[in-house]
Structure 1
Amino acid sequence: MSVDFQSMHARQPNAPAVVLLSGGLDSATVLAIAKKLGYAPYALSFRYGQRHSSELDAAVRVARSIGAVRHEIIDLDLRRFVGGSALTDDAYAVPTSPGPQDEIPITYVPARNTIMLSVALGWAEALGGLDIFFGANAVDYSGYPDCRPDYVKSFEATANLATKVGVESHEESTRFRVHAPIIKMSKAEIIKTGIELGVDFSQTVSCYQANSEGLACGQCESCRLRREGFKSAGISDPTHYAK
């Protein structure tokens, strides 16, 4: 599967779009897609209490490299809600092997995408934009409930119910859209798309527990999916590993 750039072009040239940017492989590709489609991308990242800041350092590099109009990093400390995720509570260890397929993994952060998309919605409305992009993926993903197509559709409906623009608009062309362009793509397909768009994946950090230098552990689920993606794509893995 690939992105249909012909049918997904921006509503108008350089229309503002907010792009959630974690600093990882997926979100970097989504930022490049938004740029390719003709949007003026405004990158949005969060310091939410994740285990390391290396991914935010990566987000800064990626936003600059791809050409975001502006990049904001919002402080939102989810560690204050103790429990629930290995990414925000040190009492839980980051798993190094896949868990049962019918269980949501401990790396799921409660309501994270909903919180981040809500902030993105506020910024988009303030910018006079109608488009939000984020890197949800329902193929090579860890079973997160807020990465499913039904969730994306639901949040888009909420966006149009909860905003001045949504309430006042009577035409589909002037309503909010939430874009998840890689949601049905495999990790290999995402990587190939990113390469075609000139994404430098050596700048990205996907590891759940990268060290202060951005070196990946090579053992967590995110590292495994990333490594297998490059292998399936037939592309040399540019990831910087600690070991």
Structure 2
Amino acid sequence: MTGERAVVLLSGGLDSATVLAMAKDQGYSCYVLSFDYGQRSLTELNAARAVAIDAGVVEHRVLRLNLEDFGGSALTDPSMSMPESETGEAQEGVIPLTYVPARNTVFLSLALGWAEVLDASAIFIGVNAVDYSGYPDCRPEFIRAFEAMAALATRQGVEGKPIRIHTPLIDLTKAEIIQAGVSLGMDYAKTVSCYQADDEGRACGRCDSCRLRAKGFEQAGVTDPTHYQS
């Protein structure tokens, strides 16, 4: 164990669950933060609880945010149609309708506040610039800028102990993420990635997230444990 504390952002999906396993493997004492932000599928929060318990984290908190009050995303505004592309890949230069305005900025800011209270040295987040290249808040440039801001805006930063933002998945493909998680004993059957999973956590198999996930398991050569709607 490193003896250091880390705040890990956990949605209940495949990527964030893998990041939690990586943080644990690196010896961090993990304090997990999830958000009920008005997303269509709340079953991912049930998945987050199951993953956190399985990982034996120190503490898991779920914060309620009302981002649906703003809307502007297919994830938080039911009047917008959920994209169901054939390729499951973001178009270059096009920000997907599933982008939630400023979501990662808000999430990281709250994680930063908790990290300061805990005297944590790190925040882990499962952003990925390969499969989700259309999301502006998943880019390395954004993470570097937020880390620089955090060093200026926090007591720990001013005292010379800046909190580091760890993004171990940022340059990995979905297949590489899955392979890394499997090597750490990750049980992906407990995770929910679907943007519109039903009340039992079963995936639709049609949204972009489902397509990327299925393609990842296929390319990784790993049996897909996802529970799909019949």
Residues 42, 71 of structure 1: 8 Å contact kept = yes
Q: Which amino acid aligns with 1:25?
A: L
Q: How far off is 1:101 after superposition?
A: 2.6
Q: How far off is 1:142 after superposition?
A: 5.1
CA distance in 1, matches of 2:134, 2:66: 24
Q: How far off is 1:55 after superposition?
A: 0.2
**Alignment partner of 1:229 out of 216, 226, 229:** 216
Q: How far off is 1:68 after superposition?
A: 1.1
Q: What secondary structure is seen at the aligned counterpart in 1 of 2:165? A: strand
CA distance in 2, matches of 1:46, 1:87: 13
Q: Which amino acid aligns with 1:40?
A: S
CA distance in 2, matches of 1:111, 1:175: 23
Name the residue aligned to 1:8: none
Name the residue aligned to 2:4: 15
Deviation digits for residues 101-132 of structure 1, max 9, x if unmatched? 32101000000000000000000000011200
Residues 5, 29 of structure 2: 8 Å contact kept = yes
**Sequence identity percentage:** 59
Name the residue aligned to 1:128: 119
CA distance in 2, matches of 1:124, 1:100: 35
Normalised to the residue count of structure 1, the TM-score between the two structures is 0.91
Q: What secondary structure is seen at the aligned counterpart in 1 of 2:104? A: helix
**Alignment partner of 1:65 out of 47, 54, 59:** 54
Q: What secondary structure is seen at the aligned counterpart in 1 of 2:31? A: strand
Name the residue aligned to 2:15: 26
CA distance in 1, matches of 2:164, 2:200: 36
CA distance in 1, matches of 2:61, 2:26: 21
Deviation digits for residues 1-59 of structure 1, max 9, x if unmatched? xxxxxxxxxxx723110000000000000000000001001110000000021000000
- Tell me whether 26-35 or 98-107 shows the greater mean CA deviation: 98-107
Within the alignment, does 1:238 sit opposite 2:229 as a pair?
Answer: no
CA distance in 2, matches of 1:101, 1:121: 31
Within the alignment, does 1:218 sit opposite 2:205 as a pair?
Answer: yes
Note the 1:199-214 alignment, pairs <5 A: 199-214=186-201
Unaligned runs of 5+ in 2: none
Deviation digits for residues 53-85 of structure 1, max 9, x if unmatched? 100000000001112110000001101113x10
Residues 128, 172 of structure 2: 8 Å contact kept = yes
Aligned residues: 227
Name the residue aligned to 1:9: none
Q: Which amino acid aligns with 1:222?
A: S
Within the alignment, does 1:193 sit opposite 2:180 as a pair?
Answer: yes
Normalised to the residue count of structure 2, the TM-score between the two structures is 0.96
Name the residue aligned to 1:148: 139
Residues 66, 199 of structure 1: 8 Å contact kept = no
Q: What secondary structure is seen at the aligned counterpart in 2 of 1:158? A: helix
Q: What secondary structure is seen at the aligned counterpart in 2 of 1:19? A: strand
Note the 1:90-169 alignment, pairs <5 A: 90-97=78-85, 98=88, 100-141=91-132, 143-169=134-160
Q: What secondary structure is seen at the aligned counterpart in 1 of 2:32? A: strand
Q: Which amino acid aligns with 1:86?
A: A
Q: Which amino acid aligns with 2:219?
A: S
CA distance in 2, matches of 1:59, 1:148: 24
What RMSD, in angstroms, separates the aligned Cα atoms of the two structures?
1.1
